[in-house]
């Protein structure tokens, strides 16, 4: 009996440590639990990217299930997902963009707004335009409020303006079918 326990304890420890490390091997450390989940989208007042006179606030989410896609022309993965997002929007999914630019550093203001608009127009003409409109997160404050760590990231927002999913990384057929579509359909049915 005693001998068994002498072997059993190290083996149990080894198995536990192995499981822990094995999980770490395949887990994505960037996939953090979002703190905004199941909360109303934070308040904001931000301009339209193309018509800076138009100011949006969280009422844009009311009454419709929305995918809010955080992106920028400088982001390589965003360019990869644009064609698929365009396909989705053609199927009737409402997608709005939360645009932020790397080079408009609020402390220096390197890039002018017309330049950004030009870049965006070119990019969307090339790869497809899935966006109903783009909210321009000028100082990236709203991204910060949402806990965005980079681009692309996508938020699924329900008809009451509550954030129901935060997806980090690109959206492709696999991600859409396995992760987003089930909840999206459920929210649409409500």
Partner 1 sequence: MKKLILLFVLVTSPLWALEEAYNFDDPVKQKLFLELTQELRCPQCQNQNIADSDAMIAHDLRRKVYELLNEGKSRAEIVDFMKSRYGDFVSYQPPVTPLTIWLWLLPVIFVIGAAWFVLTQRKKQVNDFDEDVLAKADSLLEKEND
Surface-to-core class of residue 128, CB atoms within 10 Å of its CB (0-12 exposed, 13-18 middle, 19+ buried) = middle
Query: Which one of 93, 96, 135, 146 is in contact with partner 1 (CB under 8 A)?
Result: 146
| CA-based nearest residue to 41, from 62, 24, 21 | 62
Q: Is 35 near partner 1 (CB under 8 A)?
A: yes
Q: Closest approach of Cβ 141 to partner 1, in Å?
A: 8
> DSSP readout, 143-161?
HHHHT--SSSEEEEE-TTS
Per-residue binding string, partner 1, 124-143, x by CB under 8 A, is: ----------------x--x
List strand residue ranges (DSSP E) for 61-126, in order. 66-71, 94-99
Q: Is 105 near partner 1 (CB under 8 A)?
A: yes
Q: Which is nearer to partner 1, 8 or 144 (CB)?
A: 144
Q: Is 98 near partner 1 (CB under 8 A)?
A: no
Q: Is 144 near partner 1 (CB under 8 A)?
A: yes
Query: Which one of 52, 63, 83, 150 is in contact with partner 1 (CB under 8 A)?
Result: 150
Q: Closest approach of Cβ 99 to partner 1, in Å?
A: 14
Residue 131 makes CB contacts below 8 A (sequence gap 6+) with: 69, 89, 95, 96, 97, 124
Per-residue binding string, partner 1, 43-82, x by CB under 8 A, is: ----------------------------------------
| CA-based nearest residue to 41, from 134, 189, 153, 164 | 164
Q: Is 109 near partner 1 (CB under 8 A)?
A: no
Q: Closest approach of Cβ 43 to partner 1, in Å?
A: 14
Question: β-strands 134-136, 94-99: how paired?
Answer: parallel
Surface-to-core class of residue 183, CB atoms within 10 Å of its CB (0-12 exposed, 13-18 middle, 19+ buried) = middle
Between the CA atoms of 53, 58, 62 and 68, what dihedral angle is there, to the nearest 10 degrees? 90
Size of the site for partner 1 (CB under 8 A): 20
Residues lying near partner 1 in the complex (CB under 8 A): 29-30, 32-36, 102, 105-107, 140, 143-150
């Amino acid at each position: 009996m005693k001998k068994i326990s002498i072997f059993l304890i190290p083996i149990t420890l080894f198995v536990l440590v192995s499981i822990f490390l094995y999980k770490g091997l395949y887990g994505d450390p960037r996939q953090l639990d979002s703190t905004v989940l199941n909360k109303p989208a934070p308040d904001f007042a931000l301009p339209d990217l193309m018509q800076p006179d138009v100011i949006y606030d969280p009422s844009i989410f009311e009454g419709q299930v929305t995918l809010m896609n955080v992106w920028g022309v400088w982001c390589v993965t965003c360019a990869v997902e644009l064609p698929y997002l365009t396909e989705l929007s053609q199927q009737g999914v409402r997608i709005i963009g939360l645009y932020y630019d790397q080079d408009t550093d609020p402390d220096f203001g390197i890039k002018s707004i017309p330049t950004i608009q030009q870049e965006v127009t070119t990019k969307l003409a090339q790869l497809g335009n899935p966006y109903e409109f783009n909210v321009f997160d000028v100082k990236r404050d709203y991204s910060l409020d949402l806990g965005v760590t980079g681009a692309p990231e996508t938020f699924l927002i329900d008809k009451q303006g509550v954030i129901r999913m935060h997806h980090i990384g690109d959206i492709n057929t696999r991600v859409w079918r396995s992760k987003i579509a089930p909840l999206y359909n459920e929210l649409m049915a409500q």
